[in-house]
Amino acid sequence: MAGPIAGDGAEPVNGFDILDKVASLPVSTWRYRWEAEDVRHIGPMSQDWKRVFGLGDEYEGIYCVDAKGISLVSIQALHRMITSLQDQVVSLQRRLDEELPNGPAKGQKAEVHAA
């Protein structure tokens, strides 16, 4: 990420660790002190952001670049999780088709019921 604007010292992050942190981050609705009572925003408090991620200034808000980075790495982690789960479903479907030859007709998927 080095370049004319970005600084040196770029380090990779573990998307799954970040995703766990995102899941633990309190998110609430709020308004700025100077706004009318009926105005609402949604998001984490900057103090919680600093505590959970160690990014930014505790009282100065959340930097857009950090919010975007956390969002992107979380999306990447979710994509890897979904891809892995899809691969597992395909593998299990193949095993089921092999073990139960009289099961669903070829090309049909067995119904999966959520608990």
HSE (CB half, 13 Å, CA atoms) of 82? 6
Residue 27 lies inside a defined structural domain of this protein = yes
**Each residue of 71-110: pLDDT tens digit?**
999 999 999 999 999 999 999 999 998 888 776 555 566 5
Read off the pTM: 0.74
Number of domains observed in the structure of the chain: 1
Which residues, at least 6 apart from 60, have a Cβ–Cβ distance to it below 8 Å?
A: 46
Residue 108 lies inside a defined structural domain of this protein = no
Distance (Å, rounded) from C-alpha 45 to C-alpha 31? 11
Residue 107 lies inside a defined structural domain of this protein = no
**Each residue of 48-79: pLDDT tens digit?**
999 999 988 766 789 999 999 999 999 999 99
Residue 7 lies inside a defined structural domain of this protein = no
Residue 48 lies inside a defined structural domain of this protein = yes
Residue 104 lies inside a defined structural domain of this protein = no
Residue 10 lies inside a defined structural domain of this protein = no
Residue 115 lies inside a defined structural domain of this protein = no
Distance (Å, rounded) from C-alpha 99 to C-alpha 31? 58
Strand partners, 29: 42
**Each residue of 5-15: pLDDT tens digit?**
666 778 899 99
Domain containing 54: what range?
Answer: 15-99
